[in-house]
Amino acid sequence: MNPMNLLQFKNTWDTFRSNHPKFPKFLSAVCQKSIQEGTVIEIRVTTPDGRETASNIRLKADDVTLFEQLREWI
């Protein structure tokens, strides 16, 4: 992975955290308490004109490892 991309991601993430301070706290709480094999994560996006798109995944054991690593970044 390119170190410059990581730095850019960090800057973008810091801006996102400033704009939406409750969201990283939500992610952190979910990762600490709810991430386990079999957990279903659903994402729903609603555009300004009201269109919705949704998807979900059921976590596998390998997925839990990814979320444990992501938790360290949050």
In a domain, 1, yes or no: no
**What pLDDT shows up at residue 55?**
98
Task: Split the chain (74 residues) into runs of 10 and give each run's mean pLDDT.
Answer: 86 93 86 87 96 97 84 69
The domain total for the chain is 1
In a domain, 15, yes or no: no
In a domain, 6, yes or no: no
Q: What is the domain range of residue 63? A: 23-73
User: How far apart are the C-alpha atoms of 1 and 14, rounded to whole Å?
Assistant: 19
In a domain, 44, yes or no: yes
User: How far apart are the C-alpha atoms of 47 and 9, rounded to whole Å?
Assistant: 24
**What pLDDT shows up at residue 74?**
62
Q: pTM of this prediction?
A: 0.69
In a domain, 12, yes or no: no
In a domain, 37, yes or no: yes
Cβ–Cβ < 8 Å for 17, 24: yes
**What pLDDT shows up at residue 32?**
80
In a domain, 34, yes or no: yes
Residue corresponding to tokens 């952190």 = 28
In a domain, 49, yes or no: yes
User: How far apart are the C-alpha atoms of 46 and 36, rounded to whole Å?
Assistant: 27
